[in-house]
Chain A
């Protein structure tokens, strides 16, 4: 079975600084997808960034980028120029590429990010 581990329950960053959130996962599959979701307080979870395992190039979305190390099974999220609105719970998630179109997301336990003004 696949597992996702986020070893940092809480992180803090100064506004305008850069922060990296860690995520490791365990799988024997070669085809899979990795996601970072953001869950602001009392608001819905939204997709931040997505990485397909067969792509070597790290995904980037504006101030958000990932460091995908497939051999090490590591998928960290870097937030550059942190803003107050980035404060949220961040979840790393795994989805198998096998078995059908509706494979479930397997989430880590989350990292609560605080942004200090």
Chain B
């Protein structure tokens, strides 16, 4: 089945130790998004790729970076995780239709920072 896959589902890292979360998709969608969802809060967009074009949200901390080596894969790099970065990270994809595009979400990676 075509889908959005996130690995790992749970990630534990140490304070200040770089960590990479991965997302892959078999939908062949142009756009890939990364959202951060903290406990009891709304998911918040960090950035997205439209093909190779990277679009950063204005309030996304510099500590968060992303890479998209090809259509299928997108990575979220957290250079120096702090305790406040513990959250669920959601990857989503879409085809930009110009109107009511649907975003397809992966199951998320829950990041714990010790």
Contacts and interface: CB of A to CB of B under 8 A. Distances in A.
Nearest to A107: B42
Interface in B26-61: 31, 33, 40-45, 48, 50, 55, 57
Contacts of A44: 4, 105-108
Interface of A: 4, 9, 33, 37, 42-47, 50, 52, 91, 95, 97, 100-102, 104-110
B101 A101 contact: yes
Given A44-B4, A44-B108, A45-B90, A105 B103 contact: yes
Categorize the interface residue count of chain B. Answer: 20 to 34
Interface string B76-110: 00000000000000101010111111110111100
B48 A104 contact: yes
A102 B96 contact: yes
Interface of B: 4, 9, 31, 33, 40-45, 48, 50, 55, 57, 90, 92, 94, 96-103, 105-108
B107 A91 contact: no
A101 B31 CA distance: 10
A45 B104 CA distance: 8
Given A43-B107, A45-B90, A91 B42 contact: yes
Contacts of B50: 101-102
| A-B CB proximity, top 5 nearest | A101-B96, A107-B42, A45-B105, A104-B45, A44-B107
